[in-house]
Amino acid sequence: MAVRAARPAGPRDLPALVALEARAFPGEAWSEAQVRDLLARPDVVALVVEDGQAVVAAALGWAAGGVSELLRIAVDPASRRRGQGGRLLSAFAAACHAAGAEELWLEVRPDNHAALALYRARGLSMTGRRPRYYADGADALLLGCPLPLAGLSA
Ligand SMILES: CC(C)(COP(=O)(O)OP(=O)(O)OC[C@H]1O[C@@H](n2cnc3c(N)ncnc32)[C@H](O)[C@@H]1OP(=O)(O)O)[C@@H](O)C(=O)NCCC(=O)NCCS
């Protein structure tokens, strides 16, 4: 699959987003209610990437009060390591900046090496650590960066 551009997600994308959650986050996928609630927020920033009729990647978060947070980013397992995640992250950052955010934050598990490498490659750096943040007792690493992202296109 070629690397594709993202488009804003809406309520009609709910089933595809829930299905992608199940494929990308086995054992810790968001429920349909969690995705629906996020899509209904007035400050939501949600992007999907389609390949034909199928949603193959998504980024979900919010932007408000001059800041933004990436809550979920997922690329279908069959479509990884082709640059789609990086392009989607840049598009998400650009959408947050367009919504008035001057900073982007996120949390990530220290053992999520793919996500950490992706975030660092796109200019995010570690700003802190939340002890025992996850249900299994793992810490969360806090990463952030100013917006717009420097020198990387969406
Ligand atoms: C993290 C994720 C979104 C990356 O998507 P992707 O499309 O594979 O990412 P890209 O192809 O754009 O990779 C960009 C860079 O990230 C790094 N990277 C991505 N996957 C990696 C891996 N498995 N191991 C090491 N580095 C990796 C590399 O630096 C890569 O650049 P390169 O391919 O030129 O070396 C994808 O692995 C995923 O969906 N994971 C499951 C969900 C998840 O954990 N999301 C993050 C927490 S919300």
For 3, 41, 46, 49, the CA distances from 52, given in Å and listed in that order, are 13, 28, 19, 10
Give the structural domain span for 87: 7-146
Would 154 be classed as within a structural domain?
no
Is 123 contained in some domain? yes
Catalytic residue positions? 107, 119
Separation of CA 90 and ligand 1 centre (Å): 13
Which two tokens mark 53?
Answer: 């009729």
Asked whether residue 1 is domain-assigned, the answer is no
Residue 141 Cβ inside 6 Å of ligand 1? The answer reads no
Is ligand 1 within 6 A of the CB of residue 86?
yes
Q: Is 62 contained in some domain?
A: yes
For the chain, what is the domain count? Answer: 1
Q: What is the CATH number of the domain that holds 102?
A: 3.40.630.30
Residues 84-102 have a mean pLDDT of: 97
What band does 154 get if pLDDT is binned at 50, 70 and 90? Answer: low
Does position 151 have pLDDT exceeding 60, yes or no? no
- 79 within 8 A of 44, measured Cβ to Cβ: no
74 lines ligand 1 (CB under 6 A): yes
- Pocket lining: 80 vs ligand 1, CB cutoff 6 Å: yes
- Report the separation in Å between the CA atom of 75 and the middle of ligand 1, taken as the mean of its atom positions: 8
